[in-house]
Structure formats: structure tokens, C-alpha cells
Chain A
Amino acid sequence: MAIWCTDLAIDRWRLAEGTARREGLDAAPLALIEDTAHGPRIAAANPAARAAGAAPSMRLTDARTLCPALAVRPADAAGDLAFLENLALWAQRWGPWSALDPPDGLLVDTSGVAHLFGGERALIADVLALLERRGLAARAALAPTAGAAWALARHGPPAVIQPPEADPHTFLADLPVAALRLDADVILLLRRLGLKRLGQIEGLTRENLARRFRNHRSAAANPLLRLDQIFGLRPEPLLPVVGVPAPLVQRRLMEPIRHRSLLDRVVEDLATDMARLLEGLGQGARRLELGMWKVDGEVLVRRLEMAAASRDPAHICRLFAARLDDLDAGFGIELVRLRVPWAEPLHLSQADLDAAAERHGTSLAACIDRLTVRLGPEAVRCPVAHASHLPERAQRWQPPLADLPSSQEELRFHHRPLKLLDKPEAVAVVYETPDGLPRQFQWRGQLHKVTRAEGPERIAPEWWRERSTVRLRDYYRIEDEAGRRYWIYRHGVIGDGRGGAPEWFIQGLFA
């Protein structure tokens, strides 16, 4: 069975606004727009806008000339997809498997389930009635293959059912070639060849078509493959949507609690429950969400993320303890719920005995969790190499315990400083113009006489991502008379046509 939500984006916007169809904001022309390289483009338009001439994939400026009163709202493609995923899970009420058909369709496998709803006609009526009650405009069709159902839902009569005894070749012969789920350029090609209906394609010799499309391997570009799929001569596997419920434990409290010690006790109980639940699933939590419903209806949510999967109740309690300090319980909390939106497989392992844990200290993951909870995820990181010539871009930061990306080793003859200043600091340098060695420089109010220097190591700007006016850098390793070793650079050379006299910066400190 194929379901096509004809106006998914508009319907979803309308439901979020809470207006009925063709009333309120929906009565006036309105379009959802997305930003493209060529300016705003219409992603979806409501019926009033469509009647006024605005069509999807039209530029907004073109549509405004046709319909000056057009109101716009931003489109939310990711939200639509998430909504469709939920809808696909919901659609499993009509069949054991359902698959997404982005951007606005669903495919449900209803083989052998129609009698549960009192026949195929009653099934499809049920589908349309329930979707209508949810406020979604939809079309549906039933057919023996997914391809045929898709074609009938979009291009057939409403709520059509392809009977099993009918010959599919004649039943589907009147559908347009667009029903084949082909790319736009292939449809255009078929139209230029004069092939407008499925029956016309079938009338041709198969070898001729096969030769015409012999280089088109993907099904979306080859009408023969699509025809075979519609008639069930070629398998078409669907990727089913499987709902994974997030592990959840909660406590309803007889008396609303207002004190921290009681709340700590409840969190401890929840963590123990959650540990038991996760242990049964063979999983450990990576992200935890603690929701607290207050008596006055407000919800307080505290989230935390862990460096490695864990279900240790003591560890979870300790991490949450730091997050609960700024809580305002108001008139009291009556429901506490702990959810695990992100879990990872974690096998059973020998638990640390208490004395052993005390003596051996914490594990690395627990240590990083504690640091992250107090200092924030941006504060605890480890450096990784990045492919770039510019020193400050040559290292990036990622969370610890993440996998190292592959990288090329630093060249051995490059001397790089132990520490890099976050922002290179300007220094006043006396040097042999135009491009000689530095003699002395002033930095942070102190004069350094350069006794030894090596350079320049010229690092050119990365022309493939920077503007053409960026100046090159000549790096020097220097040592002053006290033995302090620095990495300084001259930004540009005299007469390079990219600015005035070059400036000097200090960027690195050698050990």
C-alpha cells in the first residue's frame, strides 16, 4: 500500500500553527520558502497560493510578481522528514513493515492483513479516514507491488485498488510515464520520444529500449527496470523503519518534593532502576535526560552526555548531582523521569569491588565525564592533526576517547613550537629589510635581542580557500640572549602589492 501526503509541508505548518484548513492564515496565499544559491525558492505553497499562480520550485521573486500578497514562512525540510519517520512508525498499525518514501510518501506492506480490517476497501477507507482526522491531505492505493501502488497513489483515481485477478499490463497501461518514479531528465527524454503512457512503452520492442538505456544502471534512470519492478518481475527491497523506544524509568511521587536531599534519593532510585533496565537490554547510556514535572505544570530538564557507555548508578548520580544545584523546585516536584535517548551496546563485566575502586582510582571515562560535567564539553578536548599548511589550522580539537582521524605525519625537518598562542601577537621587530633576519624585537613591553635565528620558512596562504589578497608568512625560529626560543613571522614582503610595510607577529613558544 502506498500513501502520499499531498501537502505534507503545508499541513505540518498548519498543524503547528493550530489553524484549520482554509481558515485563518491558511485562507490567504502562503508559501514555505527555502534559501538556495539563487535566492529564496518556494518549497511548498498552500491551495490559495497555488490558485494565485505560485508553484513549488518557483523563485520567490517570480511568485511575488504573480501574487503580491504572498506571505512566506521558512520551510523545515529536516522537521518534515522527522515527522514522516514518526508517521511511518504510526502507519505500522496497518501492516508489519513500513518504509519511508521521501519527501512526502510512505509504503506499507499489507500482504495478508486486509481481512483484519474487513477487506481491502475497508482498509483503505480506514487509512484515509485516520489521516483526515490527523489533518493530513492524503491519497492511498493498494497494489501487489510497491511500484504499482506508488504509481496508482499519485497518478491513479483516488483510493484505487488493483485487483489481483486483473492483468497489470492493461490495468496500468493508462498511467503517465511519470508514474515510473524516474528522474526528470529521463521523463523529458521519454516525452520527446513521444512515449507518454505506460502502454506505449510496453508496445515497443524490449531490445530497442534496452539498447537506448544500456548505460543507465540505476533504477531511477532506466524505465525498463522500473517497468519490471511495477510488474513484479524484478525484486525491489524496501528499507523498513524500525522504532527503537528509548529506555525510560519514572517515579510518581505521592507528595511533591521540595528538598534536595529527597530529590537525590529519587534520582538514586531511578539510576538503579535504569541500570537494571539497561543491563537487561545489554546496553549502556551515552546521553541521559532527567525530566522533573513540577506541580504548576512546568518541566525542568537536565541533560548530560558521557564519554563512554555506562550504567553505573553511582556514577550517574554523581554527575547529576552537579547539575541539580541550580534547580528551582517551586511548589514541589511530583514526577521524575529518567530517559536514555542515546544508548550503546555494553556487555556485562565484572563490577569493581568497592575497596578496589578506592585504591585504584577511577577509569578514564569516568574521569572525563566528571571533568566535562563541571567544566563543559568545550573545555576537555584532545588535539588531532588536520591537513593544512597554516600552523593554527594544522591542529583541531575533538572530544577525548573519540577515534583519531587518519592523518599524514608531520615532516621530520619541520621544527614546530611546543605551544602556540591562541592569537598571534604583534611585535615590533628591527630586521634587515627587505627580507633579512630579525635583530631585536619588543614584545609585551620587553626588549629581546636576537642572538641566533633560522629562517625563513615560507608558508604561503592557502589560495584554494582564502582571498587573493592574503599575504604570505615567513617564519623564523629565534633565540634571544637569555636563551628564550620563539617562533615569529613576518606577514608579507615589501612590494608584494598586498598592503604596506609588513608586520611581525609572534605565534609560538619553543620549550
Chain B
Amino acid sequence: MIDHAPIRDPVAPLIALAPGLVRGIGASARTPRWQPGLALDCPHAELFAPARDACGAGMALALARDALRLQQAAEVPDRRPFLWVQDKAALRLSGRPYLPGLPADLRHRLIHVAAATPEDALFALEEGLRCRDLAFVIGEIAGNPKALDFTASRRLSLAAEKHGVRLWLVRLDARRDLGAARMRWEVAPAPSPKPHWNAHAPGKATWRADLFRAHTFHPGQWTLRDDDALLVAEPAATQSSSAPDHGDLVHGSGDRSLATG
């Protein structure tokens, strides 16, 4: 009889992962499911998003705030700044962060870096990850530039793990190429819930999030909504989560799981 690994507590043991240790893809039913407010051992996540809207940046900010909330429960309020790096194409396609539109608690903590090339953007991301005074780092890179190959992605992962600064890398209009991120999301906008006072107005920011690759979590799909106080996740309504459609997951050889060779 094969002795399976014991069922993990979804929160506690995940934190104590040694840096550099890669947890195999657990596609079995025993691996935990992701949910907001969960402590993550994965400091580097990639979000694939269309460049026609700001859903990628919006969800990256929401996930970052979710992670910060978890830290702040114990510590004193965190006033550290955060870094937002954009390359020129991302800046042109999806615009620049706008101070009055940022969440109030992050509004005056933004340091924005407008990099001319993807190489410069990767340099800025890595410098940001090495800095102990930053709360987290958000990167936006458009397309699949040659500079952002598996090695560059792995460098970012290692820097993030070594210094404990989280990185959310938003890939605008990008193919799912090779990457070292521990969690890879596909983000798309979703119709928002109706606001209380004016049913014809757009409501709170809502996204359809597809966690298609994760080392420590079960892949799944959710509808995420950013309520001001916390991030709310509902299981995606359309597709049944028990049998995820892997049809578009394997996208050329670049998308193969690394663990299974």
C-alpha cells in the first residue's frame, strides 16, 4: 500500500518552506484550494491579462493588499512604499497609475518606474525585490519580450524568495511562455455586481480569475471582487471546478509542467 503524504493543514505548514525548494505540482484532491486571506509561500506570481483594460493591475493590487492585510493583523501599520514598474509598451497600451484612483491606503506609497525597455524593467524589478524597505513590487510587461525568458523569470523568483519581497508580474497580451512563477493566473474582467443605489451604474471591480498553474494549490477558477475591506472570491459560475477544462492549458511546449518533465 502506498503511503500518501498526510493531508496538509491549508495554512500552517505552507509558510515554512525553505527558499529555493520547489513543491511539486499536487494535482490530487488532497492539495488545498486557494482562497483569499491565505498565507502564501509563493512570493512570485504571474498574471496574464488583456491590455485593453486594467484588470491585471487591479487584481495584482487586490492580491497585494490581501497579502498585506494578513501581515498587518499582527504588526504595526505598514507604511512602506511599493514599486510599480512598467515598460514602455505597457505604459502606452494600458496607461499610467492614477493617484486618485488608487486604493486609499496605497495612494501615497507608490513609487513608479517607467522603463524604456523590458530589460530595464527587469532590472528595476530585481532591484526592487532586493530592497528591504519595499512592501511589494508590481511589474507590468507587455507581450513576450525576448529578455523575459525562463532564466530572467527564475532570477526574479530567487530574488523574491531570498529577500521576502513579493512580486506580482502582470503580463499584458502575453502568450503563456516558460516561467518560474509559482502561481500563474489568467485574469479577465467580469460583469460587476449592481451597486446599491444606482443599478445602472458599474459596480465594484470584479474579475474572472483562473489559477491555471500553482505549485501548492489546486488549480481553479473564481470570480474575485474587491470590496474595500477585503477580497471576496466566489467559485466561477460557468465551468464546473471539479473537471477543469484543460483544453487551452497546454499551449505549445512552453506551457508544459516542469515537474513532470
Nearest residue, chain A, Cβ from B112:
A381
Name the B residues within 8 Å of A477 (CB-CB).
201-202
Do A510 and B54 contact each other (CB < 8 Å), given the known contacts A380-B113, A383-B97, A418-B102? yes
Q: Which residues from 352 to 369 on chain A have a C-beta closer than 8 Å to any C-beta of chain B?
A: 360-364, 366-368
Q: Does A509 contact B (CB under 8 A)?
A: yes
The interface residues of chain B lying within 8 Å CB-to-CB of A381 are: 111-112, 114
What is the total number of residues of chain A having a CB less than 8 Å from a CB of chain B? Answer: 55
Which of chain B's residues have a CB closer than 8 A to the CB of A371? 113, 124, 127
Binds B, one of A250-258, A448-456, A497-505: A448-456
Give chain B's interface residue range (CB within 8 Å of chain A). 35 or more
Contact of A484 among B100, B101, B189 (CB under 8 A): B189
CB pair A414 B95 closer than 8 Å: no
Please encode chain A, from 382 to 414, with 1 for each CB lying within 8 Å of some chain B CB and 0 for all others. 111100000100110100100010000010001
Contact with A along B151-177 (1 / 0, CB 8 A): 000000000000101000000000000
Q: How far is the CA of A297 from the CA of B123 in the complex (A)?
A: 37
B95: A residues at CB distance < 8 A: 419-422, 508-509
Given A420-B95, A509-B94, A511-B58, also A485-B124 (CB < 8 A): no
Q: Which residue of A lies closest to B101 (CB)?
A: A416
Instruction: Identify which of B59, B123, B189, B190 gathers the most chain A CB atoms within 10 Å of its CB.
Output: B189
A237 to B74 Cα, complex, angstroms: 58
CB contact list, B118-134 vs A, under 8 A:
120, 123-124, 127-128, 130-134
- Give the distance to chain B from A354, nearest Cβ to Cβ, in Å: 15
CB <8 Å contact, A375 and B113:
yes
Question: Is the CB of A486 closer than 8 A to any CB of chain B?
Answer: yes
| Interface assignment of B191: CB less than 8 Å from any CB of chain A | yes
Chain B 167-220 residues near chain A, CB threshold 8 A: 188-192, 198, 200-202, 205-206, 208
A-side contacts of B133, CB under 8 Å: 363-364, 367
Does B81 count as interface, using CB distance less than 8 angstroms?
Answer: yes
Q: How far is the CB of A243 from chain B (nearest CB, A)?
A: 37
Using Cβ atoms and an 8 Å threshold, which residues of chain B touch A82?
none
B53 touches A368 (CB 8 A): no
User: Which residues in B have their C-beta under 8 angstroms from that of A510?
Assistant: 53-54, 58, 101, 202, 205
Shortest Cβ distance from residue A307 to the other chain B in the assembled complex, whole angstroms: 10
Contact B101 A418 (CB under 8 A): yes
Picked from A400, A404, A420, A443, the residue with its CB within 8 Å of the CB of B98 is: A420
Complex partner residue of A446 from B52, B61, B120, CB under 8 angstroms: B52
Looking at the assembled complex, report how far the CB atom of A289 sits from the nearest CB atom of chain B, in whole angstroms: 24
Given the known inter-chain contacts A367-B128, A379-B115, A382-B112, please indicate yes or no for A417 contacting B54, CB distance below 8 A: yes
A482 CB within 8 Å of chain B = yes
Residue with the highest number of chain A CB atoms closer than 10 Å, among B112, B113, B189, B202: B202
A226 on the interface (CB 8 Å rule)? no
Interface residues of A in 465-511 (CB under 8 A from B): 477-479, 481-486, 508-511
Candidate in B62, B92, B191 with the most chain A CB atoms within 10 angstroms? B191
Contacts of A509 in B (CB 8 A): 53-54, 94-95
Minimum C-beta distance from B130 to chain A (A): 5
Q: Is the CB of B53 within 8 A of A382?
A: no
A364 near B192: Cβ-Cβ < 8 Å: no
* B191–A453 CB distance below 8 A: no
Closest A residue to B121 by beta carbon equals A375
Question: In the bound complex, what is the Cα–Cα distance between A378 and B115 (angstroms)?
Answer: 10
Knowing A379-B113, A381-B112, A419-B94 are in contact, say whether A363-B201 is a contact too (CB < 8 A): no
Closest beta carbon of chain B to A421's beta carbon, Å: 4
Q: Does B226 contact A (CB under 8 A)?
A: yes
At the interface, yes or no: A444 with Cβ under 8 Å from chain B? yes
B190 partner, pick from A368, A370, A374, A483, beta carbons under 8 A: A483
Known: A410-B100, A511-B205. A375 touches B124 (CB 8 A): yes
A361 touches B163 (CB 8 A): yes
Partner of A483, one of B62, B192, B226: B192
A419-B54, A420-B95 provided; 15 other pairs, C-beta below 8 A?
A362-B130, A367-B127, A370-B127, A374-B120, A379-B113, A379-B114, A381-B114, A383-B97, A419-B98, A454-B201, A484-B53, A508-B95, A508-B101, A510-B202, A511-B59
5 contacts between A and B (CB under 8 A): A362-B132, A367-B130, A419-B96, A454-B198, A508-B98
The chain B residues found within 8 Å of chain A, CB to CB, are 52-55, 57-59, 61-62, 81, 91-92, 94-102, 108, 110-116, 120, 123-124, 127-128, 130-134, 163, 165, 188-192, 198, 200-202, 205-206, 208, 226
The 3 closest A-B pairs by CB, nearest first: A511-B58, A454-B201, A364-B133
